[in-house]
Chain A
Amino acid sequence: MSTLKIGVYICHCGGNISHYVDVEEVRAAVAGEPGVVVAKTAMFTCSDATQQEIIADIREHNLEGLVVASCSPKLHLFTFRETARRAGLNPYQYTQVNLREQCSWAHRNNRRAATEKAVRLVRAGIARTNLTVPLEPFKIETVPAVLVVGAGVAGLRAAVGMADLGMNVYLLEKEAQPGGWVNRPGKMYPAGRVGKEIIAQLLAEVQERERITLFTGAEIVEKSGSVGNFQVKVRVGGRRRQEISLNVGAVIVATGFDVYRPAACEYGYGFTGVVTLPEYWDLLAAANGNLIYRRKEIKDVVYIYCVGSRQDPEKENAHSYCSRYCCSAAVYAALQTAEINPQIRQYHLYRDMRTYGKSELLFTRAREQGVRFLKFAGDNPPRVEEQAGGRLQVTVCDLLTYGEEVEIRADLVVLVTGMVPRENEQLVKVLKLPLGKDGFFNEIHPKLRPVETVVDGVFICGAAQGPKDYPESVASALAAVTQSAALLKKGYVELEPLVATVDPERCRWCGECAAVCPYAAIEKGQYLYRQVAWVNEAVCKGCGGCAPVCPGQAIDLRGYTDAQIKAMIDGLLKGGL
C-alpha cells in the first residue's frame, strides 16, 4: 500500500480528553502506523501555538496528510483545514478524529476501554488520510438577499442591519402585527424605555428602507437549494391566501420565545389576584396614581420568583434552565411600583438573585426603597392560599432569617414567569433546525459560533435561541447580521468538492444513478465513443446516494470512497479485537 507522509496530533482538550483517555498511550500506539512521520500530543491543538507548530511540522517534513484527534468535526474541521491550507497542504487531506464527544465524554468510567477505542479511531483516521487526494472547492455565486423570520425586536433590528449593508430583506411575521413581546405599553429595564416605542421606532426605520419587504400573517412552507442560494416558498395570509417564491442567500431565524404559563393552581394561579409578570406589566402600564386590580387598590404585593424556571430536571418536560431576565424584570417592576405609590408594601420571594451586570444597581435601589427580599429553598417553595374575603396569604420559609416561617397577606401575587420555547413545528421541519434539550434552537457553539446552525446559511438570534432580554436579543441579531452579511457580501460561497465521481472505465450507462439523484446532477456523457454517466459537480450535493445503486460499482463519493471506508473499517479492527 502506498502511503502519504502524515502528521498526527492528539489533543488533551485541557483534560476533557486526557482525563478519560491516556493520550500518550494513543500517541505511542499510532506513531508506527503506515505513513506517520510526526505523532504528537498537545494540551489544546486548536490553540494558536499548536497550530503554528503543526504548520512548522508540515513544512519541515513536507507532510502530505494531517490528522487531528480532538473534538467533534462540527467544531474544528474547518479550523484545521485552514491550518493545513496555511501550511501549503491541501485542506482535503485533513481528517478530524472525534475523540471527545464520541469517545472520552461517552466513556468516562472506563479509561482502559476508552483509550483502546481512541487508538482504533485514530488508526481509522490515518487509514482514511492515506487515501486522500488534493481537492479544490467549487465556487457558487450568492444571492444578495436574506429572509428574516420573525418581526420582533431581534428580527426588526436584523432586517434594518441587513438592508444597511446593501442586502434585500424579506421580513416574515406569523402574526397579523409585527413587534413581538417587546410591543407592549409598559417600561422595560434597563433604560426604562417603553416597549411599544422601541418597536414603533424600528418599524419606522423598516419603512424608510426600500430594500425591506415586510410580510405579516406569513409562514414558510418550503425550502430548497443550499447556502448562498435558497428557494423559499412563503404562504402569506390575509383574505386572499397566496404562496410566493423568494430567492435568498441566507436565512435569519428570530422567532422569539413564549412566556411560561403556570399550570392550574401552581402557586395559586387561578385565584383572583394571582397574576403572571407580563400580566402585572399591563397593570403597571395602566396605573394612574394608584395601582388598581379589579377595582381594588393594591397595598400588598408578593412576588414569587423562578416560576417555570429552574424546574426539577426529573419532572417531565422540565424547564430546568434559568430564564435569566426575570430577576431583573421583577426588580424593575418593584421600582415602577414604588414610583406609582411608595406606600405599597412589596415582598419578593426569590431563590437566588441573578440581577447580573448593571441590573445589580436596580436591586440595590429596590432595597434602598424598602422593598423586602426573602429567600426560599428550591425544594421548599412558598404556598399561596385564598382566604375568606378574597385576600391571599403566602407562606414562605425565609432562609435569610434562619428558616423562619413567614406569613404574608397579599392583595396581589405576581408569579415571576420565565421564558419557554415557542411552538414552531412547521418552521423546524422546513428549515431542519436543530433543537437543544431545552427546546430552544441550537447554535453550533455557544462561544465560537453563537449564531450559526448546523444548516449552512441558516442563522439564529434573539430569544429563539434561549432566554435573553431585549438588549441581548438586539446584540445577537446584529451578530447574525454580521455573520450572514460576511457570507453574502463575499459574492460567492465555496462548496465542498466532496461530490460523486464516475469511473468511466467501469460505467456502462444504465441510468440507475441518474434516476435516484434528487438534484438531476447526473447526465449522460461520452467516453471513448460510449455513453457513460457524467456528474455535474456544481449541482451535485454530495449525498452519495448514487453510489450504492451502481451495479458496476463505478461511482465513488469523494472523501468517502469505497477504498477509504474499507480502510477505516480495517483501521478500527486492526490488531484484533
Chain B
Amino acid sequence: MPAVGKENEGYVPEILVFSTNNVSDPGIDLAGGAHLPYSPAVKVISVPCSSGIRPQWVLYAIEKGFDGVFVAADGTDCAYRQDCVARTGKIVGEAQELLANHGHAPQRLKMAAICSVCAEQFTGYMKKFAEELQKLGPSRKGSL
C-alpha cells in the first residue's frame, strides 16, 4: 500500500477518534448509515466510556503518527456515570498538558459530546477539526 506523503500539498490530517460503545459509536454508525461522507483519514477506536480514556493513549497516538485525536464523549448521555462530562473534561485537560510537555500543540486533541443520533454533528466536527489540523501541519513523530 503506498504511503501518503504528509509533506505534500494535499496533506490530509490523520485523525484518531476515541468513541464510546453505546453513545457516540451509534452516532458515528448513523453517519455511515445515512451515507454522510467524512474523511477516510478518520479512524475510530471504541471504548465503553469516555472517562476511561488514558491521557497516555492520546500522547501515544500523536507520537506514533496521528495528527489529531478527537474524543467523541458520552456527554450527559453516559449510562455509566453522572459526572462523565467533568471526568472526561479532566482527562482531556491532562492529555493536552501531556502533549504540551512533549512539544505537541495541545490543539491536536479535541473533545465534543456526540450523542447516539449525532451523525451530522460528527461529520461537521471531523471537517472542522481537519481544517484546524491542516493549519497546524503534520504532527512530528516522537520517541515513544
Contact = CB atoms under 8 A, between A and B. Distances in A.
A569 B4 contact: no
A435 B21 CA distance: 16
Contacts of A380: none
B33 interface: yes
Contact of B49 (A110, A454, A544): A544
A101 B28 contact: yes
A29 B64 CA distance: 21
Interface string B14-46: 101000011001101111111111101101111
A547 interface: yes
Contact of B32 (A106, A113, A436, A437): A106
A548 B4 CA distance: 33
B82 interface: yes
B47 interface: yes
Contacts of A29: 1
A456 B28 CA distance: 20
Interface string A513-524: 000101000000
Interface centre among A108, A547, A572 (most CB of B within 10 A): A572
B48 interface: yes
A98 B3 CA distance: 23
Nearest to A99: B32
Contact of A575 (B3, B26, B82): B3
A18 to B, nearest CB: 15
A460 B31 CA distance: 23
Interface in B59-109: 60-61, 64-66, 77, 79-84, 87, 91, 94
A551 B94 CA distance: 13
A542 interface: yes
A577 B67 CA distance: 11
B53 interface: yes
Nearest to B49: A543
Contacts of A124: 43, 45
A568 B31 contact: no
Contact of B51 (A106, A498, A548): A548
A577 B29 CA distance: 24
A574 to B, nearest CB: 10
B16 A543 contact: no
A560 B29 contact: no
A435 B36 CA distance: 18
Chain A CB within 10 A, most for which of B21, B36, B45: B45
Interface string A113-139: 110110111001000000000000000
Contact of A544 (B30, B31, B47): B47
User: Lowest 9 A-B CB distances belong to which pairs?
Assistant: A544-B52, A105-B32, A543-B80, A101-B32, A101-B29, A113-B40, A543-B49, A545-B51, A576-B3
Given A543-B52, A573-B64, 18 more contacts: A29-B1, A72-B25, A98-B29, A102-B28, A103-B32, A104-B32, A106-B32, A107-B40, A434-B117, A442-B117, A545-B51, A557-B48, A565-B47, A565-B57, A566-B60, A569-B64, A573-B66, A576-B65
Interface of A: 29, 72-74, 98, 100-110, 113-114, 116-117, 119-121, 124, 432, 434-437, 442, 454-455, 498, 516, 518, 541-548, 553, 557, 560, 562, 565-566, 568-570, 572-573, 575-577
6 contacts: A72-B29, A107-B38, A116-B40, A442-B116, A454-B22, A569-B16
